[in-house]
Amino acid sequence: MIILDNSVLSAFKRLNALNLINELFKNVVVPAKVYQEFLKRWSQAEFPTWLKIETLSIELTNEAKKLKLGTGEAQAIILAKHKNYLLAVDDEKARQEASKKGINLIGSAGILRIAYEYCPIKTKEQLKKLLDKLTEDLYLENWLIKWVLEAKKLSGSQ
């Protein structure tokens, strides 16, 4: 179970790889504000039907407003904390805030790594191609790129 922020949702849309998230995670949720942010760039028809859109309660919305972040990021953090879900976010400030709240985090690079380990990404060449495309729009530190490329197929994976 995972909550997506628009940074990760948009990154995988640009990679034409949203299917990887669907294959890896059983329940994928985006806050309503993240959905609205998605629609600023893409059409409603391009939004995956398997993604669940969740509207925050007034109480959770007010809690999100207290964070000094974008509305989508803030809602994703509060929703992840409330549901105790993994949070997928790339923005450093949002990651720091989520970490302070004890939320388990993953970013786009981490999702690519586990997609390789668990086999939706079949080859290292595919992994490298997706990682190269990801870094066209997202800065990743060298150690993180190396960590992703060092991934090994896990026992039981094809």
Q: What is the pLDDT along the chain (158 residues), one digit of tens a residue?
A: 999 999 999 999 999 999 999 999 989 999 999 999 999 999 999 999 999 999 999 999 999 999 999 999 999 999 999 999 999 999 999 999 999 999 999 999 999 999 999 989 999 999 999 999 999 999 999 999 999 999 999 866 55
pLDDT at site 20: 96
Structure tokens at 127: 């992994």
Sign of torsion over alpha carbons 109, 111, 112, 117 = positive
Amino acid sitting at position 31:
P
pLDDT at site 34: 96
Q: Could you give all domains of the chain from N- to C-terminal order, each with its CATH number?
A: 2-106 (3.40.50.1010), 114-149 (no CATH)
The structure's pTM equals 0.92
Sign of torsion over alpha carbons 115, 118, 122, 124 = positive
Distance of alpha carbon 113 from alpha carbon 118, whole angstroms: 9
Q: What is the pLDDT of residues 89-118, one digit of tens each?
A: 999 999 999 999 999 999 999 999 999 999
Distance of alpha carbon 105 from alpha carbon 18, whole angstroms: 18
How many CA within 13 A on the CB side of residue 141? 7
